Amino acid sequence: MQKIIVCLKRVVDYNVRVRVKPDGSGVATEGVKMSINPFDEIALEEALRIKEAGNAEEVVAVSIGTSDSQQQLRTGLAMGADRAILVETDGEIESLAAAKVFKTLAEREEASLVILGKQAIDDDNNQTAQMLAAIWQRPQATFASKVELNGDTATVTREVDAGLEVIEVDLPAVVSTDLRLNEPRYVKLPDIMKAKKKPLDVVSIADLGVDTTAQFSVVNTQPPAEREKGIMVEDVAGLVQALKAKGLLQ
């Protein structure tokens, strides 16, 4: 295998409590810690392990967003990616537009494998990997908990509702990662310093000729309703009575 492309998305760090803007126009990100989407971090770790096992020659990290996304790409480079590409845009990118961008880069880079997280923690769409495979017309293996390469094929163990499913796909292919695939490595200071010297190319999304016209519009964003304060009961009879009072038992 010559090359693996890994897709990294800049999202609000999972440890940060998300706040909705007062006007309901979206989530407040000013002054908020941003990180690599956790599922994408797992994808990068798997690509690096594949390369370290001698099954790939290069790992390329790709992100779509503003210039601030360079921070997450530099983290990816510090983890071990060989180079990075930022597709720069100031607009919101929906799943289909992101898939079109990744398809263009996969063809341009002649990638043998594209790995990305099964979903992003900001929108939870779980769409990009499937859309990419469809428009690229290549096999897909989503929700991967184990990936094994054998020449021009990949054997992927998938997490499904009924348990585990093992499939074999021909390369090039698209793989999306689940939580139990691996545990991403810790980035050390020397690796961060080395990452500053690794190539990071910036291209405009307009230069790729991708149609990014929005298909949806967000009407309003609201925080979840506050939970009611719990009550203490003395025994099972008290619990049953409380549930009946809430209409949860007949």
Per DSSP, the chain holds a count of helices (H) and strands (E) of: 6, 11
Asked if residue 199 has a cis previous peptide bond (ω within 30° of 0), the answer is: no
pLDDT tens, position by position, for the chain (250 residues)?
Answer: 689 999 999 999 888 888 888 888 888 888 889 999 999 999 999 999 999 999 999 999 999 999 999 999 999 999 999 999 999 998 888 999 999 999 999 999 999 999 999 999 988 889 999 999 999 999 999 999 999 999 899 999 998 888 899 999 999 999 999 999 999 999 999 999 999 999 999 999 989 988 888 888 888 888 888 887 888 888 998 888 888 888 888 7
Are the beta carbons of 61 and 40 closer than 8 angstroms? no
pLDDT of residue 123: 86
Q: Is residue 119 part of a domain?
A: yes
pLDDT of residue 1: 63
SS3 238: helix
* CB neighbour burial string for 124-133, b if at least 16 within 10 angstroms, e if fewer: eebbbbbbbb
Q: Which domain holds residue 195?
A: 3-222
Q: Is residue 247 part of a domain?
A: no
| 39: nearest Cα among 14, 74, 4 | 14
Q: Is residue 242 part of a domain?
A: no
Q: Please tell me the distance from the alpha carbon of residue 141 to that of residue 6, in angstroms, as a whole number.
A: 15
Phi, psi of 76 (to 5 degrees): -60, -40
- Domain harbouring 87, CATH code: 3.40.50.620
Count of CB atoms situated within 10 Å of the CB of 26: 12
Q: Is residue 42 part of a domain?
A: yes
Q: Please tell me the distance from the alpha carbon of residue 249 to that of residue 71, in angstroms, as a whole number.
A: 52
Q: Is residue 239 part of a domain?
A: no
Are the beta carbons of 69 and 120 closer than 8 angstroms? no
pLDDT of residue 221: 85
Number of domains comprising the chain: 1
Q: Is residue 93 part of a domain?
A: yes
Q: Is residue 249 part of a domain?
A: no
Q: Please tell me the distance from the alpha carbon of residue 166 to that of residue 158, in angstroms, as a whole number.
A: 6
What is the pTM for the complete model shown?
A: 0.86
Positive or negative, the CA dihedral 176, 179, 183, 185 is positive
If you write DSSP's letter for every residue of 21-82 in order, what string do you get? -TTSSSB--TT--EEE-HHHHHHHHHHHHHHHTTS-SEEEEEEEESGGGHHHHHHHHHHT-S
Assign residue 182 a region (left: φ > 0; alpha: ψ between -120 and 50; beta: otherwise).
beta
Q: Nearest 5 degrees, angle CA 190-CA 191-CA 193?
A: 65
